[in-house]
Structure 1
Amino acid sequence: MRTLHCCSLPAPWVMLSVGLGCGMMLAQSASAAPSTGSGFTWQNTQESTTQWGLGAGIGYHQSPYDGVGAKYSPLPLLYFDDKWLHFFANQLDVKVGRWDTFSVSLRARYALGDGYKGSDAPILSDMQTRKGALWLGPTVAWQTAVGRLSVDYLLAGNKGQKAEIELSKDFNYGHFSVEPHIAAAWLSGSNVDYYYGVKQDEARPGREAYTATASYNLSAGTRFGYRFTEHQSISFDLGVTRLGSGITDSPLVSETWQPEAKLAYLYHF
């Protein structure tokens, strides 16, 4: 796969516009998709139903930082969905409204596992600690017979901005489900520089100063699900991300590909 360079790809607002256009074309072509109405309706006009669940999961991902290796993250899970809110794991969506198969929400997501401490690896020694961030911003989605196309644009203060467009399709076979998904993400220069840059006062022999630039990541994977009973289900998500050149050019980074996996059990009440 060829490396993506920032100068050859559109700005994030163009990315969002492309997602909007693709979604409209998908909605028009997917005549089998159900329609909930002919115009935009605010969420306060929707019928109210509540679903919730509790569970536990574990995540694995390969750190891109040289010498850090794989990380395993246990995670208690809470699922909640009603007229206004959808919450699962580390993400909360506040529902705004719908237009046929098109929905608008406001998203809050805490990035688990982002950042590092200087003690994590020799290459990071004497580096200032980089912390995770709470990301906030709008998200839109289109649910059609062709697939679910979603686009979000999130901000995290001095940790920058990022935008992502994802296409997924769910296939159900009795108690089993399979959902392949592909995505492209844009990370702003300030975001990449915060996590992968090296300040002048952090430079050492073998770790030169580095000011990172905006980057595009590509990812693909498949989610597998199995429902044991009406109330119990398990899911397994396996994927890989190809990091952009703004990240891989950093002297802190030794990996271009980031494999990851998530295993979760959920009890639905």
Structure 2
Amino acid sequence: MYRILFVLITSLSILPSVGMAKETCASENQCIEMNNWDLGIAIGWGQKSNPLKDFDDIPLFFIPTVAYYGEHWFFDNGNLGYTLAEQESFTFNLVTSYSLDRAYFYRWDPSNIFLNRGTQVEAKAITSMSLSTEPEREFNSLETRNFTLLGGAEAFIYTRLGIIRLAYTHDMFNVHQGSEAQIKWTYGWDYDRFIFEFALVFDWKSQAVVDYYYGVRPSENAYWSEQYQAKSGWDKGAEMTARYILTDNWDLLLAVRYTLIADEIAASPLLDQDYSSTYFIGAAYRF
């Protein structure tokens, strides 16, 4: 009995992996055998752009994958899940996940394992009078954005035109008391030794999530803490992954992702761009 393998593809897109289950799959290279650990590592070069003002982009060198699927329980790159229902046309799971937003602030966030840290650059002093009455977006040291786990439910709907994922999760440890939701459509096809996957992603973040990560505290900047009022919003993204199967263990990989950040988030003075892009090219080994 097997489950479809989206571990390497999903992690290369810098997203939390998710438990996607079915009884059959196209080939062994696309499957995880149940009741066995699936371990892998991708080695290569890439970069994840950082939309935060005065933070460096994040290089990608090593991306590990760790997954285990039992009859009901599964572990997938740091996320736990339990399958409540599994049919030919759908799967329904209880899951945990972690937000991607904190990864822009901290090196050791789970989304940045084996990535170089984005370092904050000190703001330059103003050397001339500005013609604008709006103060420069200069900040004191940012307060801590703590890590938290989200818990909730996800559903996969399997169709001939692709796989649809619907998910809703909520902060489990009262760090920000916010919620996130996702609508994702994935379509994959293979040709000879090539495997391609394309996805469209819509990620919703509640006002509490947006305010916690992108809101400005009074200690950081008194003016902007009053001017910016967080609101909920939808990020919109597209992903593409191409794999070429060299051997039973080795694949060549190309992964790209582009996310258009919600207007409500891009309006935060902590950001200086309204998008984030990721690319990675290299090789992946499955143990």
1:116 alignment counterpart: 105
Moved more, 75-84 or 61-70: 75-84
SS in 2 for 1:192: helix
Q: CA deviation at 1:90?
A: 3.6
Partners of 1:60 and 1:72 within 8 A in 2:
yes
Partners of 1:114 and 1:132 within 8 A in 2:
no
Mapping 1:224-243, distance limit 5 Å: 224-243=242-261
CA distance in 2, matches of 1:94, 1:158: 24
1:126 alignment counterpart: 141
Describe the shift of the 1:145–1:188 C-alpha distance in structure 2 as closer, same or farther (beyond 3 A).
same
Q: CA deviation at 1:236?
A: 3.1
Mapping 1:1-269, distance limit 5 Å: 49-57=34-42, 60-73=47-60, 74-111=62-99, 114=103, 116=105, 120-121=120-121, 122=123, 123-156=138-171, 157-159=174-176, 160-204=178-222, 209-262=227-280, 266-268=284-286
Return the structure number with greater helix share: 1
Moved more, 216-225 or 153-162: 153-162
User: Where does structure 1 lack aligned partners over 5 or more consecutive residues?
Assistant: 1-33, 37-47
Q: CA deviation at 1:207?
A: 7.4
Identity of aligned residues (%): 23
Q: CA deviation at 1:56?
A: 2.0
Partners of 2:166 and 2:184 within 8 A in 1:
yes
Partners of 2:143 and 2:217 within 8 A in 1:
no
SS in 1 for 2:219: helix
Amino acid at match of 1:146: L
CA distance in 2, matches of 1:119, 1:178: 34
Describe the shift of the 1:87–1:226 C-alpha distance in structure 2 as closer, same or farther (beyond 3 A).
farther
Q: CA deviation at 1:111?
A: 3.8
Q: Deviations over 1:67-125 (max 9, x none)?
A: 21311354432132332234333433322212331100111223465252697244453
CA distance in 1, matches of 2:104, 2:147: 6
SS in 2 for 1:260: strand
Q: How many residues align?
A: 225
SS in 1 for 2:103: coil
CA distance in 1, matches of 2:96, 2:206: 18
Moved more, 64-73 or 77-86: 77-86
Q: Deviations over 1:136-157 (max 9, x none)?
A: 2100001121100001111123
Q: TM-score, normalised by structure 2?
A: 0.68
Amino acid at match of 1:114: A
CA distance in 2, matches of 1:57, 1:131: 28
- Please report the RMSD computed on the Cα atoms of aligned residues, expressed in angstroms: 2.9
Describe the shift of the 1:60–1:92 C-alpha distance in structure 2 as closer, same or farther (beyond 3 A).
farther
Partners of 2:218 and 2:225 within 8 A in 1:
no
Q: Deviations over 1:39-76 (max 9, x none)?
A: xxxxxxxxx93343222247632111112131135443
SS in 1 for 2:248: coil
Partners of 1:101 and 1:143 within 8 A in 2:
yes
SS in 1 for 2:52: coil
Partners of 1:184 and 1:216 within 8 A in 2:
yes
CA distance in 2, matches of 1:162, 1:209: 24
User: Where does structure 2 lack aligned partners over 5 or more consecutive residues?
Assistant: 1-21, 25-32, 107-117, 124-137
CA distance in 1, matches of 2:90, 2:36: 21
Partners of 2:188 and 2:195 within 8 A in 1:
yes
